[in-house]
A and B are shown apart, each in its own frame.
Chain A
Amino acid sequence: MAYQPDRSQYPQPRPDGSLDIDLRSGKYLKLWQGPQHPGITGNMSLELTVCGDEVVAGRTHVGYLHRGFEKLMERRTFIQCFPIVCRICVPEPDFNEYCYAAAVEELAGIEVPERAQWIRTLILEMGRVNSYLMYLGGQAGAFGQAVIGQWTTYARDLMLDRFEELTGARIYHMFILPGGVRDDLPEGFGRRMEQTLREIEEILEEVREVMFDNAVLKRRAIGLGHIDPALLDAYGVTGPTARAAGVAKDVRRDHPYLVYPRLAFEPVVAQASDVHARADVRRRDLLLSIDLIRQILAGMPGSGAVMTALPNVLHWKIPRGETYIRGECSRGEYGYYLVSDGSGYPRRVNVRGPSYTHAVALLERLIVNVNIADVAALMVSLHTYPPEIER
């Protein structure tokens, strides 16, 4: 049932603006969505208060996979943190590696070879393709289009093949480490990547026709989960969610890093700021990533070092200081705040994932007045990954 303009049967606002919800009145039901639920991204849960089939209040709950990464890193040497960081975000782990490595390099005064900068950019764009493909499947699935997820999972597998031949791993690549990257591109990598990109493009064209031209998606996603652009800064909204609201926030352009200043691109934007606009921005951003991968492979220097000599990492002390390094991941601003006290261990590592703001304060605001059946689609549209909330 759509949103009912007659609000007489729904909770009335108190003077402070909050809703007057009396759970003993028999008009409301507490409904838990998650932590194990197909309509939840990752392991978190939504505590919904529903009136009829409309959500009148929602609280988010995290903590189901807290592993204490930030604390663990305080007891490990700088190089020992490197294999830990990628595990903070499963679907797009490489941003953790890049941000951590760049933060350590900055505090330690390490120069990274140029070719390594190109390979890092390549890896990050490959990861973005993977993450968006996973998102498209989830977003379509939330509207009952299960087949899209099967197609995009196949397409993602093709990119995982490229990851495997480049890094030796499909999920946690552990490839971008302080000083550069672990290895150079294998022989013939560019040719095989081009083949993969073409196949993904073909699949995306079918996804566009079947998913985006679908009447069900248009009817349900247009107008759902509208974010007022005036709220973007108040709620720390970044990435495609901000770009779908007409604000071209993109760290790749706003705070250029790696070789992005040498690549030609414009951030993808839309205006409607609803679930449909966010899905469309991500689909077009995916095509942009494919284009960027081609630009990177064409523009990369033919040869050169990919790793700089590091001091003995077992006795590596980094001068006292603090810094913040950010990148534009598929969900928005991803950043690492690193503090060194001059010892061989980080004093503090704080991971700033976009889900931290999108999946808690923003989601709790957007979820009010949404139909129960649309909650999953709304949550997926924010493209949140809970591990980066609880780190």
Chain B
Amino acid sequence: MHELHERLKAIFPLGELTVQRPDLAFITLGREHLRPLLLELRHRHGFTHLVLLTAVDWIEEGCFQLTYLLNDRAGARDLGLRVMLPREGASMESIHDLWPTAATYQRELREMFGIDFPASPGVDEPFILEGWRDIPPYRRDFDTLKFAEENFNQRPGRATLDPARHMRDRLHPEGE
């Protein structure tokens, strides 16, 4: 993976390389270099399979991380490309023309994280949610507990236990 990173670095200004396993590494790069890097990896290095495209919300740092995970089957290796986007007005170039199946991932990311992918087919259509009016629910600032309390009725007699407190009370009933 280090050798591949060096070869790619000679062409693209790449950021940090994280080697997770001998067959799995992650590279951070600027959004403007994503498409040429994807093409380079697909056509010259055997990374023909788009395994997944997903996002991570780093709300404390004010950014989303898009992860494009590519697989080189012949070389038995995976490479994750990390693109950091500002959370405000997050938007990214679509890659549905490279992998048609990417349109599904992008449609879901638009709905669940609010990240736009202009020109991606059906990107503005609801994918999983119907009639959703709240903030995109997979953002870290979406409060699932508050949403559940406001929208669902509690069944009478049902109690929820915090596991840590429950076990402490069971093991140390007299108090610590």
Contacts and interface: CB of A to CB of B under 8 A. Distances in A.
Contact of B163 (A77, A323, A326): A77
A249 B73 CA distance: 8
B51 A63 contact: no
B20 A322 contact: yes
Given A63-B127, A75-B144, A77-B163, A323 B54 contact: no
Contacts of A361: 100-101, 103-104
Given A333-B51, A339-B56, A350-B54, A324 B24 contact: yes
A324 B104 contact: no
24 contacts: A62-B127, A66-B129, A71-B138, A71-B142, A77-B163, A106-B20, A106-B21, A233-B50, A234-B100, A314-B163, A314-B167, A321-B18, A321-B20, A323-B20, A324-B51, A324-B69, A324-B78, A333-B51, A335-B51, A337-B69, A348-B55, A352-B52, A365-B100, A390-B128
Nearest to B122: A59
B74 to A, nearest CB: 9
A335 B50 CA distance: 13
Interface of A: 62-63, 66, 68, 70-72, 74-75, 77, 80, 106, 233-236, 238, 249, 254-255, 314-315, 321-324, 326, 333, 335, 337, 339, 347-348, 350, 352, 356-357, 360-362, 365, 390
A66 B144 contact: no
Given A63-B126, A249-B73, A347 B103 contact: no
Given A77-B163, A234-B101, A362-B101, A254 B76 contact: yes
Interface in B48-65: 48-52, 54-57
Contact of A236 (B78, B99, B129): B99
Contacts of A352: 51-52
B26 interface: yes
B23 interface: yes
Contacts of A80: 163
Interface residues of B, number: 40
B27 to A, nearest CB: 12
A339 B54 CA distance: 11
Contacts of B104: 356-357, 360-361
Contacts of B49: 233, 236, 238
Contacts of A254: 73, 76
Chain A interface SS verdict (over half): mixed
B21 A234 contact: no
Given A70-B138, A75-B145, 14 more contacts: A63-B127, A66-B128, A68-B137, A71-B137, A233-B48, A254-B76, A314-B163, A315-B164, A322-B80, A323-B20, A335-B52, A337-B69, A350-B52, A361-B104
B16 interface: no
Nearest to A247: B73
A347 B138 CA distance: 11
A323 B100 contact: no
A181 B49 CA distance: 32
List 9 tightest A-B contacts by C-beta distance, closest first. A63-B128, A350-B54, A233-B48, A361-B101, A348-B56, A352-B52, A236-B101, A357-B101, A390-B128
A314 B26 CA distance: 30
Contacts of A70: 138
B130 interface: yes
A322 B26 CA distance: 9
B146 to A, nearest CB: 12
Contacts of B138: 70-71
Interface string B122-151: 000011111000000110101011000000
